[in-house]
Structure 1
């Protein structure tokens, strides 16, 4: 067995999620800096998520059909950089909407295919996935802390430059990673993607993926603005984002033990219930720093344990020939939910306020918990 290219795989996750760390907390803040209202901000943030509904399935099918997943990753990374660079030409709403859609079409080609490559490298060592993926969380932490401080000292006008530099890092990392393919077993009758999708609990799982991302809408779109309006500094806000991801890293380190002891169903159920609690706390009690810190620690469940369990579920639910499509559907439904969450939060923020907007998010997470509890069968990992 070839040696695991641990640092090469980890470097890609580091840069990829550093980009997420620069967009999730600060993209809405940048659009606010440009003078857009809450509804327009929600729409601009939703556009990349809407592209996530379509793009991963197109690229996932292409990856499964051609087997050239690493080429797709590299092509997507380069085109993401080139497309986003168009932001330097104009800052009008229509132009920004085009830039958001175009760069996201290629950005969302990248991660689902890279997940398949990573899992192929981990053949027989799947429990080590979280040890590699945690470097993505570290990249996120570094970015939110550094940019949070930077934006206290300098204007937000430098924000697009920071994103372009991180995207260049993704391109370089993609060319450092060696290729790998999932083991291809012989074709058997009835092994098609749609047939596997109808296996018990699979459709319920994907429904809950969408609901979980709907519930994250206010968090990813307006948390930074929400905390800034409550009087928190941008530097402290960056640290608070980092607290959540530190908790996520700790969970990733423990996930192999957690999944060895608890079923995927139980891990997902706990994640959804804690998400419902977290959104209530952020919407109603975020002015209290100790409550805010506790809510951010719950990111360990709302993203960390949820994502690790979800990747595990997708891997075991689909055969080698459908892995790309399974991962792509996970990304697409997460994008659909995220887009709906960003849109509803953008429209409800001014009309209903932060408390009601986060309460609706809590309802979505609780609905996912009910579905998992009633529709997914209990099993051991």
Structure 2
């Protein structure tokens, strides 16, 4: 029997952490007088650990056969690392706490995803009904904390986030282990796949797409508050983006039947070019900001769904997990880290408008790389890739 609610609860709390931490923790860091550069350096550790931790912990889990044990350990160690934020406001201490927390927190999700699919077995199509609780958790956290912070000191972010991390640990303890399917023989070599121009174009463009989002994930809440918007509205703006993302995910099966994956990706990159210019130069217009947030459905939802589908097709057999790990490390890890770090320097030197414009430049570069590096010369693929 599938442990539906135990798995769903884990996803709920895991992404509730994202909903509490990503939008509001930067406001806490700003409140203790850290510079934009310091904030960007600290937040970039989340992306850095997404490059390093999953591969290391995944290898260790396979070697020791302790997947669930590592998921539980990562939850406890994440809470321990975050607890350091309660006892110091010195940059060195904050850096150590963030590194420890991010290293263990980033390890959990790939292993939990594998555990989920092992439980689902032939019912893999039910994954969406479990994963959607993660989006529900994000929305619940971002809205509740946004309204709360209009009435309580910003330090409440620490207590709320720690409580959610405690919830992740409790859910991890409740998760049961599952049998793993036998390994299949590798049907292609990784080097051969990576030498294909279209694969290089896709991975390079994905790197640039995440770099384009760097300023959004690090400074968007600060940006809104500095332009006079309340923290409750900040929560609703983040929620609007996630709702658009959920709607696109639900529509993707129909969209993929009508449009080639390459076309979906090109459209998503074009939307990203437009979106970040709108954010940077339309801060005084709530209407423009609302439209820009709705575009999150394209710049993350459609982009991510199409990119994962292409990676699954281009990295066959046992290469699928390695392809997904490479996609995640290069895009959300390395690309997100680069975008976050650069935005930390340009935020003070050039200002918010030009920082978000730089995000549009990253997206445009990704669009051109995808357009020129992944051509349709071979004709329309049976899977609708071209």
TM-score of the alignment, normalized to the shorter chain, above 0.5: yes
Instruction: Give distance in 2, aligned partners of 1:4 and 1:204.
Output: 39
**Secondary structure of 1:90's aligned partner:** coil
Q: Which residue of 2 aligns with 1:20?
A: 18
| Residue range with higher mean Cα deviation, 256-265 or 175-184 | 175-184
Could you tell me how far apart the structure 2 residues matched to 1:162 and 1:14 are?
15
Does 66-75 or 238-247 show the bigger shift? 66-75
| 1:274-316 deviation digits (Å, cap 9, x = unpaired) | 1111111100112111111111111111222222223333334
- Out of 134, 138, 141, the position equivalent to 1:140 is 138
1:226–1:303 Cα change, 3 Å:
same
* Cα separation, 2, equivalents of 1:182 and 1:323: 16
CA contact (8 A) 1:120 1:182 kept: yes
Between the aligned partners of 1:6 and 1:311, the Cα distance in structure 2 is 24
Q: How many aligned residue pairs are there?
A: 378
1-side partners of 2:118 and 2:307: how far apart?
A: 17
Q: 2:322 matched to 1:325?
A: yes
Alpha-carbon distance in structure 2 between the residues aligned to 1:98 and 1:25: 21
Tell me if 1:204 matches 2:177.
Answer: no
Give the superposition deviation at 1:214: 0.6
* Number of the residue aligned with 1:283: 280
Partner SS, residue 150 of structure 2: helix
For residue 96 of structure 2, the aligned residue among 95, 98, 101 is 98
For 2:316 and 2:84, locate their aligned partners in 1 and report how far apart those are by CA, in whole Å.
39
The alignment yields a C-alpha RMSD, in angstroms, of 2.3
Q: What is the CA–CA distance in structure 1 between the aligned matches of 2:142 and 2:55, rounded to whole Å?
A: 30
Cα distance in 1, alignment partners of residues 183 and 73 from structure 2: 28
Q: Which residue of 2 aligns with 1:245?
A: 242
Give 2:364's aligned residue: 366
Cα drift, residue 187 of structure 1: 2.5
Q: Which among 41, 44, 47 is matched to residue 46 of structure 1?
A: 44
Structure 2 equivalent of residue 184 of structure 1: 182
Q: Which consecutive unaligned segments of at least 5 residues does structure 1 have? A: none
* Structure 2 equivalent of residue 226 of structure 1: 223
Partners in 1 of 2:256 and 2:70 — Cα distance?
31
Distance 1:127 1:315, change over 3 A: farther
Deviations 1:2-33 (A, max 9, x none): x5444333222211111111121112111001
Which residue of structure 1 lines up, in the alignment, with residue 271 of structure 2? 274
Change (3 A) 1:9 1:138: same
Aligned CA distance change for structure 1 residues 331 and 145 (closer, same or farther; 3 Å) = same
| Corresponding residue SS for 1:26 | helix
CA distance in 1 between counterparts of 2:66 and 2:197 reads 31
Q: 1:135 to 1:200 in 2, by over 3 A?
A: farther
Q: Is the 8 A contact 2:184 2:317 kept in 1?
A: no
Q: Secondary structure of the residue that 2:228 maps to in structure 1?
A: coil
CA distance in 2, matches of 1:274, 1:72: 39
Q: Contact 1:55 / 1:332 at 8 angstroms: preserved in 2? A: no
Instruction: Write the deviation string for residues 338-373 of structure 1: whole angstroms up to 9, x where unpaired.
Output: 111111111101211111111110111122222222
Pick closer, same or farther for the CA change 1:172–1:141 going to 2, 3 Å.
same
